[in-house]
Amino acid sequence: MTTAMTKTAMTIDDARQAIASGKTKATTLAESFYQTIAAEDPKINAWLSLSRERALQQAARVDAMVTRGDALPALAGVPIGIKDVLTMQGAPATAGSKILEGYQPPYDATAVARLESAGAVLLGKLNCDEFAMGSSNENSAYGPVHNPRALDRVPGGSSGGSAAAVAAGMAVATLGTDTGGSIRQPASFCGVVGMLPTYGRISRYGLIAFASSLDRVGPFTHTVRDAATLLGVLAGHDPMDATSSPVPVPDYTADLNKPVKGLRVGVPREYFAEGLDAEVRAAIEKTLDQLRAAGCTLHNISLPHTQYAIPTYYVLATAEASSNLARFDGVRYGYRAPQADSLNAMYRRTRDGGFGAEVKRRILLGTYVLSAGYYDAYYRKAQQVRMLLTRDYLQAFSEVDVLLTPTAPTPAFRLGEKTDDPLAMYLADIYTVTANLAGICGISVPCGISKTGLPIGAQVLGRHFDEATILRVAQAIESA
Amino acid sequence: MNPSHSSDTSKTITLEDVRRVAELASLELTAEEETHMQRDLAAILGQVAQLNQLDTTEIPPMAQVSEILGQHAGAHTQALRADVPRASLERAAALSSAPDTDGIYFKVPKVIER
């Protein structure tokens, strides 16, 4: 899929070269993105706050570097947005929740700091489902995000604002987070590239935690090359995150265009079963044909425990969430219910008034599965099935190099279509959750358009720490 | 509820269960919320019950991805940083987003009646 070089599809290289060559100033570019946001966002609602002062100071620093003739860092002057579950000093952090209203975190998340150290201009914070819990961005306390490709449709979730901002040309790239599909599924719905790096690849220091054994930070971009560039900046060990990995970080752009000839592509039959939209199936089959034509070998494989992934995920993710969200109690930051005359009443009323329905549902479910008498039946059982699901992938990756699947069973659905049925909503993540449980990496890349003009994404899954190979396959799909 | 027979996932969720769990989670639900949550939790746990189709007696539980990486990807994890004192947040910064403070401590409603 080729993209015209319009402003709505400005890449990292476009932006960086325009600044390096003196064709534009970083400050001018930042202002032009703020103008686009002012014009476009009233109908999309992707942004929760703009950090204009910090962005323009950073842009001025980049302009001074250009004037002095300094070597420019990888993201010099590139306008980037941040999902509002990552902390950024000087900007509010809401996590899409009323309970964090007014919270101004006093420190930067490591991912945010790394972007700025690489020269990025951080435009502001992006809308998302409350505490990243949702698949449509309709669970935000600050209103839903509209899909820029079709305004009556959801952008996907939970990183809906991050996907929509890139799709609408309101940022060159953005950061999102993915606990069960929250980067890949909105990337698919909005027609952009979204990447889930391996567990431990990118630091989560400064991420407002949802489910710590599953949460990851990753980029949204227009192109696969941009995803590779951002991953190179973001990846690496961080002493502030005990789960971040010391595995060396390669140059992810080096082998992007290396031919994919000879790569073994697995096609898991369980990902093409009942519930898959016919147009999505056709687009993925066309993509498989293109990979075959490029010299990949295709292999039908089985991931036999796939049907158990969603229930396993909803036990483990909610259990971890019930523990992580215990910290929101009206004492140290954010909202506090007024006129409570005892500490316990204050806790309960703050949490009841501050959390939305889906967050309460997940806290209750997570508390239930961890409670005395149910722990073994639900939580331990789900951990055992998590092992089986992970072994499915490890077995597959002993036979093939990558897996190719749809990212989501359908294109973007309509706003309001699934809000009354949590189980139907959870199925939007049916092809994405298992990668989170297993810790492997994945990427969603645009591979087609439905008859009604809705984007369709292909998901490439790869071995732990083998981002280079999935990027290479995604590049082949993008170039086909 | 009998803790020694913990494999029973067939029973449905009662309103009483919802209230008990809400109390454990420090949530104060309205009557309407209790009813909705009872319906939703019953539906979700109904789906979760299909995990019982699998015999997992010999399968070790997986809590963290690092357990797998240690075995399969040759990746080692050096979990903890060196235990040396470092500067922490300034008190003013730590208190700056709190709903109520006296400038030194976070303030909360009375905990103990005198």
Read off the pLDDT of residues B98-110 as tens digits, 9 standing for 90 and up.
999 999 999 999 8
Among A25, A49, A51, A83, the one annotated catalytic:
A83
Count of domains forming chain B: 1
Tell me, yes or no, whether A476 lies in a domain.
no
Tell me, yes or no, whether A18 lies in a domain.
yes
Q: Show residues of chain B in contact with A439, CB under 8 Å.
A: 65, 68-69
The H-or-E segment that residue A299 falls in is strand A297-301
| Residue B2 pLDDT | 38
In chain A, the residue whose alpha carbon lies closest to the alpha carbon of B79 is A242
In chain B, the residue whose alpha carbon lies closest to the alpha carbon of A353 is B28
Q: Does B94 touch chain A (CB under 8 A)?
A: yes
The alpha carbon of residue A414 is apart from the nearest alpha carbon of chain B, in Å, by 22
| Residue B110 pLDDT | 85
Tell me, yes or no, whether B28 lies in a domain.
yes
In chain A, the residue whose alpha carbon lies closest to the alpha carbon of B67 is A387
Among A49, A51, A140, A158, the one annotated catalytic:
A158
In chain B, the residue whose alpha carbon lies closest to the alpha carbon of A388 is B59
Are B41 and A364 a contacting pair at CB < 8 A?
Answer: yes
* Helix pair angle (A381-396, A309-324), 10° resolution: 120
Tell me, yes or no, whether A191 lies in a domain.
yes
The alpha carbon of residue A377 is apart from the nearest alpha carbon of chain B, in Å, by 5
User: What part of B 62-91 touches A (C-beta under 8 Å)?
Assistant: 62-66, 68-69, 72-73, 75-81, 89
Under the banding of pLDDT at 50, 70 and 90, the label for residue A5 is very low
Who among A363, A464, A465 is closest to B25 (CB)?
Answer: A363
Task: Render pLDDT for A184-203 as a digit per residue (tens, 0 to 9).
Answer: 999 999 999 999 999 999 99
Q: Does B97 touch chain A (CB under 8 A)?
A: yes
* Residue A433 per-residue DSSP state: H
Q: Does B2 touch chain A (CB under 8 A)?
A: yes
- Per the structure, the complete domain to which residue A211 belongs is given by 7-257
CATH of residue A58's domain is 3.90.1300.10
Tell me, yes or no, whether B90 lies in a domain.
no
The alpha carbon of residue B40 is apart from the nearest alpha carbon of chain A, in Å, by 8
Task: Render pLDDT for A163-185 as a digit per residue (tens, 0 to 9).
Answer: 999 999 999 999 999 999 999 99
Task: Render pLDDT for A443-469 as a digit per residue (tens, 0 to 9).
Answer: 999 999 999 999 999 999 999 999 999
Under the banding of pLDDT at 50, 70 and 90, the label for residue A420 is confident
**What angle (nearest 5°) sits at the alpha carbon of residue A204, between those of residues A203 and A205?**
95
For range A346-375, the mean pLDDT: 95
For range A282-306, the mean pLDDT: 98
Tell me, yes or no, whether B84 lies in a domain.
no
Tell me, yes or no, whether B26 lies in a domain.
yes
For range A123-135, the mean pLDDT: 98
Closest Cα partner for A65 from A29, A121, A19, A24?
Answer: A19
Are A348 and B81 a contacting pair at CB < 8 A?
Answer: no
* Percent of chain B scoring above 70 in pLDDT: 80
- Per the structure, the complete domain to which residue B47 belongs is given by 10-54
| Residue A406 pLDDT | 98
The answer to whether residue A287 scores a pLDDT higher than 90 is yes
Are B60 and A387 a contacting pair at CB < 8 A?
Answer: yes
**Cα gap A100→A173, rounded to integer Å:** 25
Are B24 and A367 a contacting pair at CB < 8 A?
Answer: yes
Residues A194 and A224 sit within 8 Å (Cβ to Cβ): no
Tell me, yes or no, whether B40 lies in a domain.
yes
A5 by DSSP, 3-state: which?
coil
| Residue A452 pLDDT | 96
* Percent of chain A scoring above 70 in pLDDT: 98
Tell me, yes or no, whether A184 lies in a domain.
yes
For range A215-224, the mean pLDDT: 98
CATH of residue B28's domain is 1.10.20.60
Q: pTM for this one? A: 0.95
Are B33 and A315 a contacting pair at CB < 8 A?
Answer: no
The answer to whether residue B77 scores a pLDDT higher than 60 is no
Under the banding of pLDDT at 50, 70 and 90, the label for residue A266 is very high
* Residue A150 per-residue DSSP state: B
Tell me, yes or no, whether B86 lies in a domain.
no
Q: How many CB atoms lie within 10 A of CB A150?
A: 20
* Helix pair angle (B31-48, A357-370), 10° resolution: 60
Q: Does A106 touch chain B (CB under 8 A)?
A: yes
Among A49, A135, A136, A182, the one annotated catalytic:
A182
For range B43-63, the mean pLDDT: 95
Q: How many CB atoms lie within 10 A of CB A43?
A: 11
Determine if the peptide bond prior to A49 is cis (ω within 30°): no
Under the banding of pLDDT at 50, 70 and 90, the label for residue A422 is confident
Under the banding of pLDDT at 50, 70 and 90, the label for residue A327 is very high
**Cα gap B67→B77, rounded to integer Å:** 10
Tell me, yes or no, whether A219 lies in a domain.
yes
- A83 catalytic, yes or no? yes
| Residue A95 pLDDT | 98
Tell me, yes or no, whether A413 lies in a domain.
no
Are B97 and A352 a contacting pair at CB < 8 A?
Answer: no
| Residue A4 pLDDT | 36
Count of domains forming chain A: 1
* Single-letter amino acid, residue A111: A
Task: Render pLDDT for B16-36 as a digit per residue (tens, 0 to 9).
Answer: 999 999 999 999 999 999 999
* Single-letter amino acid, residue A48: L
Are A378 and B9 a contacting pair at CB < 8 A?
Answer: yes
**Cα gap B82→A352, rounded to integer Å:** 40
The answer to whether residue B79 scores a pLDDT higher than 90 is no
Are B73 and A465 a contacting pair at CB < 8 A?
Answer: yes
Closest Cα partner for A191 from A462, A473, A450?
Answer: A450
- A360 catalytic, yes or no? no
Tell me, yes or no, whether A247 lies in a domain.
yes
Tell me, yes or no, whether A81 lies in a domain.
yes
**Cα gap B7→A131, rounded to integer Å:** 31
Are A390 and B62 a contacting pair at CB < 8 A?
Answer: yes
Chains A–B, number of C-beta pairs less than 8 Å apart? 207
B47 by DSSP, 3-state: which?
helix
A72 by DSSP, 3-state: which?
coil
Q: Show residues of chain A in contact with B70, CB under 8 Å.
A: none
- A182 catalytic, yes or no? yes
The alpha carbon of residue B24 is apart from the nearest alpha carbon of chain A, in Å, by 7
Are A376 and B6 a contacting pair at CB < 8 A?
Answer: yes
For range A51-56, the mean pLDDT: 98
Task: Render pLDDT for A309-323 as a digit per residue (tens, 0 to 9).
Answer: 999 999 999 999 999
**Cα gap A304→B53, rounded to integer Å:** 13
Ranges A243-247, A361-365, A401-405: which has the least confidence: A243-247
| Residue B69 pLDDT | 79
Which position has the token pair 């305004």? A151
| Residue B78 pLDDT | 56
| Residue B11 pLDDT | 64
| Residue A84 pLDDT | 98
Closest Cα partner for A132 from A103, A105, A100?
Answer: A100
* Percent of chain A scoring above 90 in pLDDT: 94
Closest Cα partner for A177 from A144, A151, A145, A203?
Answer: A203
